[in-house]
Structure 1
Amino acid sequence: MKKLLSIHKTPLLLLLISCAFYAAFAYDLQRTDLIKLISLYGALFFLSWKIFQLEKQNFRILLGVAIIFRLIFLFAIPNLSQDFYRFIWDGKLLLEGINPYLFTPNELIIDPPIAGVQTLFNGMGDLSAGNPTNYPPLNQFLFALAVFLGGKSILGGVMVLRILIITADVGIYYFGRKLLRNLNLPENRIFWYLLNPFIIIELTGNLHFEGVMAFFLLASLYFLHRKKWMTGAILFAGSVLVKLIPLLFLPLLFRYRKLKNAIAFYGLVGLVMLLFYLPFLSAEFFNNYAASIGLWFQKFEFNASLYYLIRWIGFQVQGYNVIQSAGPVLGLLVFIFVLLKASGSQNKNLPGLLTSMLLSISVYLFLATTVHPWYLVTPLLISIFTRYRFALAWSLMVILSYSAYAHPAFEENLWLVAVEYLVVFGVMGYEVLTRSRVALPRKALK
């Protein structure tokens, strides 16, 4: 034991310091305290990187460290996001046999069909309370499971949600290592995801289910790579049934050479999704769901990059906010970009497919009107299987978006948003330029 402690003395010290910082993050932080928030976040990035450097060949230790960091949050109520109140609200409705897609919380709170939901209603905020839910069915079932196992306690529900998310991260470790091995890439890259403070705080800490979606997506890619397309299709449908964003990748799979029958794959994905949506379907469901999704393109603005430039130009030319017209156009541009990437031959092999997926989701986020921090989970995970590292830089810089909460009226500091994206675009530009120079013959560079 003494020899073991002597060998791992420095990593152990870094682990203890990190645990103290994560505990401060989980139990002693207000999101309005921007200086403390950024300081803890930056320190945890440094400490995690040092632990990885010192123990990068010792997978058991690194996995243990990753789980310990997550378990620190187990009894904490999320302090950077209030979305979990809506998760538990939806779960309670589902357990009572009420279709959560048909009513807004504002409509139900007038004459609550469930006792003791006032705290949930007060906690979720006006934005969530005034709009129909947009969380897909598998996510809804997970919410209901958390309420069922957690009992009447909000903390109990939070703990179950947290355990589900941690379990998904362990699954990402399992399939991530296998996929890295199959691609002849260093297996320890999976810890760029698992030890990343952004992942730990946004998923385990703030209870966002992008990690569960990412687990299904990664498992699907693994089975597709193993030529088990039916299992891959079911898992891909599972990822969409947690979060809709993987739909963006469906066109890219059409030319993947290990997927012999893309039409059959798409058909099975659609069938599994239909089976999950079937219990909720009605005319009102379609109206509410479409309206809820449309809000993200025509109403909401947060931490955007290129859209903010377009908005500024719109004010100069038109004299008003052009989001209602610009949002759908930007969505169309993303769709066109994905179709162009789908037509390329690079998607025939898995490395090329993963690169196309990374660039597609990145373009989507660069053109989006709303980019919450947890949206970066997908590009960050995909990036570890590619040669691009800008998503890692983005996961560090995105903490600046929380500056909006430091203002009493929730007002973004656009200078900090500019700093965030200047770093991201700078790293990405450097990587693209370097990749192009490596690919070109020497004569072409003269």
Structure 2
Amino acid sequence: MMLLSCILYYIFAFHFERTEFTKLVVLFIGLLVLCFKIVQFEKLNLKFILVTGIIFRIIFLVTIPNLSQDFYRFIWDGELVSNFINPYLNIPNDLILDPNLVIDNAKELLTGMGELSPKFHSNYPPLNQLIFAVAALLGGKSILGAVIVMRILIILADIGIVYFGRKLLRKLNKSPHLIFWYFLNPLVIMELTGNLHFEGVMLFFFVWSLYLLSMNNWKLAAVVYACSISIKLVPLLFLPLFLTHFKFKKSVAFYSIVGLSILTLLLPFYASEFIANFSKTVGLWFSNFEFNSSIYNVVKTIGVNYFDAKPWELIKTYGKLTPIITILTVLAFTFFRKNDNLSTLISSMLWILTIYYFISPTVHPWYIIFLVVLTCFTNYRYALVWSATVILSYWAYSDPNYVEHLGILTIEYLLVFSFMIYELSKQRNKL
């Protein structure tokens, strides 16, 4: 099983183009089955699982990502930071015109980003920028060298997730092997190690923070939680939950430590234009882009076909409603659910993020990985189903016009919603 998995990962890493949708699905299904069998038969063999998962990841070590071009922007930002240039102040399309620009491989990086990314300011938080800078410095002025450095850091983060995840599962009186559903998950390996998304690094700090909370080391947990936010902003969603997890005075102290830690990491990048540039770029995800959405696609289909709505106007209106619905959801789980124990707190996080992704107009496959981690610490498994079906969204890459197939997306979400409803019907008294 391990050997066959290695062959399939090798094919994906070295002999796959992102337009080959059928090939992707066949490879992914094969890896899903093998993952299930490996965990089923070797779940008590930690060394075997660790070595196996690391080998799967090492296969990708010297390859260029084939399903994402985001890494070009990562390296661009890293080159800026390593040369003490603030990545939040100027867009790449403007910087490339500067004759004194010191970025290595600047034209290749700009071309690799595609048409969209160079038009906007960077939206990657400060600790992520520092990691990009390390990759640029240690990469030997080579794009592949920087990719290898980032990949090693992501692999180390995944190992850290297993380490703290197993400890946390024991504290929650759950089987430690459950974290292997993350570590050997093909979506995790392909999207994080393969395509260089930094959700894994964010989740390393996030799981570490939860473990520290389980040990009642909440002060250090606050610092580590701030590091998670400073990689990706998603954990910000859960901050209000700590108001009811702790008593009021303790929650204020927790928030203060988180805030001060984030400000400390942000300080080297601060400038008067930073807030405006950063918030504008982040806001675009709510009102301009759409990919693999569920509820939004239903709204758009009804609006366009029955009310003659214009898609470009509809998404802007919908984008204004999404943050409001998200905030109301977070407040509902904060004040109408007892989050005093860690198990309930994690469950609330799972449902908040699930609802957010359901209403979001943009749900890239690697977003689901956060749900995969959270579900390992709960009694729900629908996120594992989603991690299997989300690969169907890559149909859009096989279309020359980058058009999504609503029928295929319907299959993806029908399976997810069906399994989620099934689980809720079994555990409705625990929600």
Q: Distance in 1 between matches of 2:249 and 2:333?
A: 19
* 2:327 aligned counterpart, secondary structure: helix
Look up the match of 1:74: 61
- Is 1:379–2:371 an aligned residue pair? yes
Distance 1:170 1:258, change over 3 A: farther
Q: CA deviation at 1:410?
A: 1.0
C-alpha deviation, 1:256, in angstroms: 1.3
Residue 348 of structure 1 corresponds to 340
Alignment-mate amino acid for residue 432 of structure 1: L
Contact 1:32–1:405 (Cα < 8 Å) also in 2:
yes
Which structure 1 residue ranges, 4+ long, deviate > 3 Å from structure 2? 257-260
Determine whether 1:300 maps to 2:289.
yes
After superposing the two structures, state which structure 1 stretch, 204-213 or 338-347, moved more: 338-347
* Counterpart for residue 319 of structure 1: 309
User: Which of these residues, 48, 73, 76, is aligned with residue 89 of structure 1?
Assistant: 76
Identity score, percent: 50
**CA distance 1:103–1:439, change in 2 (3 Å):** closer
Deviations 1:142-172 (A, max 9, x none): 0000111111111110000000000100110
Are 2:59 and 1:106 equivalent residues in the alignment? Answer: no
- Residue in 1 that maps onto 2:114: 125
Given that 1:73 and 1:205 are in contact with CA atoms closer than 8 Å, whether structure 2 keeps it comes out as yes
Which among 46, 51, 61 is matched to residue 64 of structure 1? 51
1:147-162, aligned counterparts within 5 Å? 147-162=136-151
Distance in 2 (CA, whole Å) between partners of 1:228 and 1:136 is: 25
Which residue in the other structure is 2:408 paired with?
416
Q: Structure 2 unaligned runs (5+)? A: none
2:38 maps to which of 27, 32, 51 = 51
2:13 to 13, 26, 31: 26
The AA in structure 2 aligned to 1:338 is V
Give the Cα–Cα distance (whole angstroms) in 1 for the partners of residues 58 and 242 of structure 2.
Answer: 36
Q: Distance in 1 between matches of 2:213 and 2:336?
A: 19
Instruction: Select 2:321's aligned residue among 307, 326, 329.
Output: 329
TM normalised by structure 2 equals 0.97
Deviation at 1:53, TM superposition (A): 1.1
For 2:381, the equivalent position in structure 1 comes to: 389
TM-fit CA distance, 1:318: 4.7
| Cα distance in 2 for residues equivalent to 1:439 and 1:85 | 44
Provide the residue aligned with 2:362 in structure 1. 370
2:393 aligned partner = 401
Residue 139 of structure 1 deviates from its aligned partner by 0.1
Q: Which amino acid aligns with 2:343?
A: P
> Residue type of the partner of 2:57?
R
**Alpha-carbon offset, residue 111 of structure 1:** 2.5
Match of 1:264 among 248, 253, 264: 253
Contact 1:225 1:258 in 2 (8 A): no
SS, match of residue 126 in structure 1? coil
Number of the residue aligned with 2:154? 165
Does 1:40 find its partner at 2:6? no
Contact kept, 8 Å, 1:224 with 1:258, in 2: the verdict is no
- Please list the CA deviations of residues 96-120 of structure 1 after superposition, one character each: whole Å capped at 9, or x if unmatched: 1111011111111122512431111
CA distance in 2, matches of 1:387, 1:439: 10
Which of 342, 349, 353 is residue 361 of structure 1 equivalent to?
Answer: 353
Once the 2 structures are TM-superposed, how far is the Cα of residue 345 of structure 1 from its aligned partner? Answer: 4.0
Residue type of the partner of 2:309? G
Matching of residue 201 in structure 1 with residue 190 in structure 2: yes
* Whole-angstrom distance in 2 between the partners of 1:134 and 1:255: 30
| Partner-residue secondary structure (3-state), 1:64 | helix
Q: How far did residue 229 of structure 1 move?
A: 1.0
Q: Could you tell me which amino acid in structure 2 is paired with residue 317 of structure 1? A: F
Distance in 1 (alpha carbons) for counterparts of 2:125 and 2:145: 23
RMSD: 1.4
How far apart, in 2, do the equivalents of 1:182 and 1:352 lie? 14
For residues 373-407 of structure 1, the C-alpha deviation after alignment (integer angstroms, 9 at most, x for no partner) is 11111111000110111100000001001100001
Contact 1:52 1:191 in 2 (8 A): yes
Question: 1:221 aligned to 172, 185, 210, which one?
Answer: 210
How far apart, CA to CA, are the structure 2 residues paired with 1:265 and 1:379? 24
Do the aligned partners of 1:257 and 1:349 also contact (CA within 8 Å) in 2? no
- Aligned partner of 1:26: which letter? A
Does the Cα contact within 8 Å between 1:227 and 1:258 map onto a contact in 2? no
SS at match of 2:64: coil
- Unpaired segments of 5 or more residues in structure 1? 1-13, 441-446
Corresponding residue SS for 2:241: helix
1:319 shift after superposition: 2.3
Residues 402 and 259 of structure 1: CA distance in aligned 2, closer, same or farther (over 3 Å): farther
